[in-house]
Amino acid sequence: MAFELPALPYATDALEPHMSANTFSFHHAKHHNAYVTNLNKMIEGTDFAGKSLEEIIKSSDGGVFNNAAQVWNHTFFWHSMKPQGGGEPTGAIADKINADFGSYAAFKEAFATAGATQFGSGWAWLVLANGKLEVRKTPNAETPLTEDGVTPLLTMDVWEHAYYLDYQNARPVYIETFLSELVNWDFVNQNLADAS
């Protein structure tokens, strides 16, 4: 069974003006779709055919890993955002952030720094690692999904194709906008509940 490009959880213009429909036409319809297409070609007729995306990610390397992880990372990223999102969280994740980081402001600074200091392409993450929240950054297609005891809760794509059409080279402005206007804390709360 071949993998398919997952539909976005909202319309391509739903995150405007913070993320444009033009960005989605390239990022989702071209970049994400290319990872799906490449992965299907690579696994056809191999032991990976018929395995779940997560199984492939945890047992592959090289091109198969890169494409499988990018399919997963991007799907997770789309759900990490929502219209009228962002700002301070509520619910269990708010309490957990205060407990593990001291304050939302401290979390926000750590997450923004991870995104801004990831050299080249990659991702910033909020993860639950052995019961404690941590901010991580990963290069290229790397994902915390490969680590035992680590559950991804939120991610922000800092590859240039995630923001360049809307923000040019101003990655810090994109990061601030992601945190203040786009984060889907409902999704994060659900991931935290599922991990508990």
Residues annotated within a binding site for Mn(2+): 27, 74, 157, 161
Q: Which tokens in the block code for residue 158?
A: 């800092």
Query: What is residue 82's DSSP assignment?
Result: -
- Report helix, strand or coil for 137: strand
d(CA 163, CA 18): 10
How does 25-37 read in b/e, with b if 16+ C-beta sit within 10 Å?
eebbeeebeebbe
**Residues of the binding site:** 27, 74, 157, 161
Q: Which tokens in the block code for residue 122?
A: 């990659």
Tracing tokens 């990976």 back to the chain, one arrives at 48
d(CA 145, CA 151): 7
Compute the chain's Rg from CA coordinates. 16
**Residue 157's closest CA among 72, 56, 55?**
72
CA 81, chain centre distance (Å)? 9
Angle, helices 92-101 vs 104-117, to 10°: value is 80
